[in-house]
Amino acid sequence: MYQRPENLNEIQENNIFSTLHDRRRRSKEGGGKKRIENQHKKGKLTARERIELLVDENSFNEIDSFVTHQSTKFDMAGTKPYGDGVVTGHAKISGRTIYVYSQDFTVFGGSLGRAQATKICKVMDLAIKTGNPIIGLLDSGGARIQEGVASLAGYGDIFYRNTQASGVIPQISVILGPCAGGAVYSPALTDFVLMNKENSFMFVTGPEVVKAVTGEEISFYDLGGSNVHSSITGVCHLVGETEEDTLDLVRKLMAYLPSNNLNDTPSDQHLLDVNTQQNLRELIPAEEDEPYDMKSILGIIVDSDSFLELQEDWAKNIIIGFSRLNGSTVGIVANQPLYLGGAIDFNAADKASRFIRFCDSFNIPILTFVDVPGFLPGIKQEHEGIIRHGAKLLFAYSEATVPKISVIVRKAYGGAYIVMSSKHLGTDVNLAWPTAQIAVMGSEGACRILYRSKLIGVDNPEQILKEFTEKFKEEFANPYQAAELGYVDKVIFPEETRNEIIVSLSILRNKREQTPRRKHGIFPV
Ligand code: HXC
């Protein structure tokens, strides 16, 4: 006869707890030892190792670790790894909460099926509801082939949430492996895309499809590697040498961002070392067309070592990035005379306008440094749509209601004067250095047009042109006509700039601006 063991409760209890123990252990196995070894052999970290590197020590709190796919086709019922190829949860970065998902390439190549998509959507929803940033670490073969349209639906659900979250919480995508097919559109919808130099790839159609359709042969790297997306397409904002570097860059970037569109940006009082401002005078060349590095000027004015440049190698004629003044985050937009003389081309307009919109959504003041000879002339520029792209920049500056401050350093010519945060687009504080030249166009070009008839038939046209040009410069190539009209609020010595900006930022802190009631404007995309 059956005898009830005296310690039955204990046995049951042990079973109950060991089941959870066992499940937890299995949920950490991913695709198994061999696939993890393969991942390491490729120089890649696992999904969990990446999260550990990204977040504060012991702060990761995983959810949904027992989720499995429900697919039965292609013998899938026999392989149901816990977690379904993505690790999700919340954690802290520098003490602030973030939500994170990290695709696990060792499970079905990190491919996205219904269950994985539902997990990602859950953390996105939580991030939106709780007002915390979402960070995705992507390493995936794309839509899970075995699940068909269910996996496509999963992508659709993610894209929808990316769009709903836009302007509400910062969204950061870190590409640490393949990101192929339609899957690229989630990162493309987010605010910042970071790539790892060697091992990350993004393309809509891979090398094999390209070869089949167009006959072109190209490697993964040359088609969609970090170099392509950081210097040609502009998809990528920051590139890390290694995965560790890339994840460290995410932490650096986070330090400038608020948790959501209603929170303040974190301030950092550690970088209050101030550079000697007197040196600024020496950085502007005497010759008006001589190039110089605008970054050397920025580096002196902002808090020491606080400038984090974004999209550094794309559209180099305009500089964008975050920095700090007196410890507070500002977004910087600046012409770069070292490239194309600082002229605005279609890529520069795209680059700056998107950044301005990010700053505006997240209450980050926009600080603009101007040295621009105009829009870049040329058939390519006209035919590639400089009209449409340039309009984006006008729109972005005009619609931005955050504090806007501009400093005209040297040239501010023609339409580019207007577009680069002029008073006419609602900029709050417009400053100019004595070296500023605010005019319809460059002095010599203007004189060639104005005095064309006087230069015909004379013996020494170049000498006469030079004289006219000198006179014109005295009259117009300065900031004083604009100051007389109130378009420039103040002409300042370069060494006064930092202080003027800090005072302006504090005055503008409580700025409120009403915009007309409407659903939304039509951004000229
Ligand atoms: C299911 C996949 C998969 C996928 C890879 N795997 N991609 N399983 N669905 N999409 C599996 C492989 O079968 C393999 O399983 C494991 O992941 C590792 O793959 P490998 O090919 O061995 O790795 P590697 O040589 O590093 O190559 C990685 C890769 C390649 C370049 C990503 O796997 C690949 O080309 N995959 C297909 C990419 C693709 O075309 N995806 C669909 C895009 S269309 P085992 O069991 O052997 O470990 C798309 C539509 C989205 O995504 C639409 C949104 C709008």
- Residue 375 is given by DSSP the state B
User: What does the block give as tokens for 88?
Assistant: 């999700």
Q: Is 415 a catalytic residue?
A: yes
Closest by CA to 232, choosing from 223, 219, 245, is 223
Check residue 52 and report its DSSP letter: H
- Determine which one of 85, 181, 224, 342 is catalytic: 181
Range of the domain at 356: 269-441+478-504
Residue for token pair 């690790």: 87
Say how many domains are in the chain.
3
Q: Does residue 280 sit in the same domain as residue 232?
A: no
Task: Let me know if 416 is a catalytic residue.
Answer: yes
Amino acid at 436: A
From 76, 111, 112, 221, the mutation candidate for ligand 1 (largest count of ligand atoms within 8 A of CB) is: 111
- Please check whether residue 236 lies inside any domain of the structure: yes
Are residues 250 and 375 both part of a single domain? Answer: no
181 an active-site residue? Answer: yes
> Are 372 and 425 contained in the same domain?
yes
Kindly report the protein residue whose alpha carbon is nearest to atom 42 of ligand 1.
142
Please tell me whether residues 448 and 362 are part of one structural domain: no
- CATH at residue 50: 3.90.226.10
- Dist. CA 112 → ligand 1 center (Å): 10
Pairing between β-strand 429-432 and β-strand 404-413 as defined by DSSP bridges: parallel
Choosing from 224, 254, 284, the residue where a domain stops is 254
Longest dimension (CA), the chain: 128
Distance 51 CA to ligand 1 centre (A): 22
Q: Name 309's bridge partners.
A: 321
Q: How far apart are CA 353 and CA 335, in angstroms?
A: 13
Q: Whose CA is nearest to atom 18 of ligand 1?
A: 109
Tokens of 464: 């006469």
Q: Is residue 262 part of a domain?
A: no
The catalytic position among 415, 426, 445, 483 is 415
User: For ligand 1, atom 34, which residue shows the shortest CA distance?
Assistant: 141
In angstroms, what is the span from residue 157 Cα to ligand 1's centroid? 20
What is the full per-residue pLDDT of the chain (525 aa) written as tens digits? 556 656 666 666 678 899 999 999 999 999 999 999 999 999 999 999 999 999 999 999 999 999 999 988 888 888 899 999 999 999 999 999 999 999 999 999 999 999 999 999 999 999 999 999 999 999 999 999 999 999 999 999 999 999 999 999 999 999 999 999 889 999 999 999 999 999 999 999 999 999 999 999 999 999 999 999 999 999 999 999 999 999 999 999 999 999 999 999 988 866 556 778 888 999 999 888 899 999 999 999 999 999 999 999 999 999 999 999 999 999 999 999 999 999 999 999 999 999 999 999 999 999 999 999 999 999 999 999 999 999 999 999 999 999 999 999 999 999 999 999 999 999 999 999 999 999 988 888 888 898 888 888 888 888 988 888 888 888 888 999 999 999 999 999 999 999 999 999 999 999 999 899 999 999 999
Same domain, 151 and 115: yes
For residues 232 and 350, state if they share a domain.
no
Protein residue whose Cα sits closest to atom 53 of ligand 1:
182
CA 236, CA 101: separation in Å to the nearest integer?
19
Which one from 416, 439, 477, 482 is the annotated catalytic residue? 416
Stated pTM of the model: 0.94
Is the residue at 525 inside a domain?
no
109 given a catalytic annotation: no
355 and 328 in a common domain: yes
Q: How far is CA 352 from the centre of its chain?
A: 10
> What are residue 335's DSSP bridge partners?
318
| 294-298 own/partner pairs: CB under 8 Å, 24+ apart | 294/319, 294/334, 294/335, 294/336, 294/337, 294/338, 294/342, 294/369, 294/371, 294/409, 295/319, 295/336, 297/369, 297/409, 298/323, 298/332, 298/334, 298/369
| Domain-embedded: residue 321 | yes
